[in-house]
Chains A and B, each alone.
Chain A
Amino acid sequence: MSQTSFSSLWKELTKGFLKENPILVIMLGLCATLACSTSATDAFGMGLAFSFVMLCSNIVVASIRKLVPSQVRIPVFITVISTFVTIVDYTLKAYLPALSQSLGVFVPLIVVNCIVMGRAEAFSSKNTVMASLMDGIGMGIGFTLIITVIGTMREVIGNGSLFGGQVMPAQYQPVLILILPPGAFLVIGFLMALHRKIMITLYKP
């Protein structure tokens, strides 16, 4: 794992896309995924906020991993993560107040978004800074990708629009249920089945 050849780094990067996708396979960080995907814009915003925290905390945790005694590692990791979450929270409040309003309590909750903690504990506390950087980017992209797909499906079908602009014909009757809470569970259930189908066709011919 600790070798820094190009191909192994590439592997750390791409595993987050499908094979170890944070939402569909590791199944952590579901709260934010479901709650912030009523529109593609919110979903994309949440994806970026999450990716930033993920990337920065992975780098910091990997660079201090040899200094921190293992008994106190969890409080230390949480402090690192909460620092970056506070930065994101206040940056959003200052520059994108509308997005911050609609994401609400879920931005501060990235702290206890188990996936950030999970990667810090399972990956970056044991790997080099470079590998952790790649892992962070890969996980970030995988998360942003899936949450945006969920957001797009819910917004197009449930509201007839995409990123706020109308895409369906005017006589289209929106299926309201998809932007209500039950729709989030429904969409992710079907996406998981689809992901399973894709994995079967790709890896087990």
Chain B
Amino acid sequence: MMSNDLNIFLILLSAMLVNNILLIRFIALCSFFGISNSIKTSIGMGMAVIFVMVMATAVSWPVYHFVLVPLKLEYLRTAAFILTIATFVQLEEMFIRRMFPPLYRAMGIYLPLIVVNCAVLAAAFLCIDYRLDFAKSMVYTIGVSLGYFIAIVMFAAIREVVDYAPVPSLFKGHPIAFITASLMSLAFLGFKGLFGL
């Protein structure tokens, strides 16, 4: 399990591969099945998630430790985090549109969707639950979001090929996508035992 004793490199790899957020921990699956039709859109979504997730943890960690804990309001963390993240995504969207128009065109439409992407909220919660310090929380979040990126792009690549395969009619579309995901998850399970994590 994750803890402060692990070194930074192990935290990164464990978050990215061993505990892959999509295939092993089952978080953010709606977007995983919804937006993985083409490699191009999944790259856009993956980039947007990396960006928002890292920023969200950078904001929610201080909010929890410097505002909620001193005021003994830990029970408000669900509401506090989701509002912080929603506000922050909105600000980010406006900032990117103003400052980096090409980047906005690449991932603009995915930004609002990410507010309800549970992966962002989950990463923020897990950093608190594992009692990671700030630097390690950031490394952990980067690992989680890279894991999301790798998994969704690989899955989209496989789905593009599966579209041309002769699949039994009952399994066409979503059922075969789930079975594909099952095999990918099996492959990622192979990382378990790596570094004894």
Partner-B contacts on A (CB < 8 A): 27-31, 34-35, 74-75, 78-79, 82-83, 85-86, 89-90, 105, 108-109, 111-114, 117, 177, 180-186, 188-190, 192-193, 196-197
Query: Please, which residues of chain A bring their CB within 8 A of the CB of B78?
Result: 82, 85-86, 89, 108, 111
Interface string of B159-193 (1 = CB under 8 A from A): 00000000000110011111101110110010000
Binds A, one of B25-33, B58-66, B92-100, B135-143: B25-33
Interface string of B66-81 (1 = CB under 8 A from A): 0000000001111100
Q: Check if B118 is an interface residue, CB within 8 A of chain A.
A: yes
B79 touching A82 by the CB < 8 A rule?
yes
Binds A, one of B7-15, B39-47, B103-111, B121-129: B121-129
Query: Please, which residues of chain A bring their CB within 8 A of the CB of B117?
Result: 112
New A-B contacts (17) at CB < 8 Å, excluding given A34-B29, A90-B75, A183-B182: A27-B174, A31-B118, A35-B27, A75-B86, A82-B79, A105-B129, A111-B78, A113-B118, A117-B116, A181-B26, A185-B179, A185-B185, A186-B178, A186-B179, A189-B177, A189-B178, A196-B175
A96 shortest CB reach to chain B, Å: 17
B174 touching A78 by the CB < 8 A rule?
no
20 contacts between A and B (CB under 8 A): A27-B34, A29-B30, A30-B29, A30-B30, A31-B27, A31-B30, A31-B118, A34-B26, A75-B83, A82-B78, A82-B82, A105-B122, A105-B126, A111-B82, A111-B121, A113-B118, A180-B189, A182-B189, A192-B175, A196-B175
- Classify the secondary structure of A's interface with B: helix
Closest to B168 in A: A193
Query: Please, which residues of chain B bring their CB within 8 A of the CB of A196?
Result: 170, 175
Query: Please, which residues of chain A bring their CB within 8 A of the CB of B52?
Result: none
Alpha-carbon distance A117/B171, docked complex (angstroms) = 29
Q: Check if B157 is an interface residue, CB within 8 A of chain A.
A: no
A90 shortest CB reach to chain B, Å: 6
Query: Please, which residues of chain B bring their CB within 8 A of the CB of A181?
Result: 23-26, 185, 189
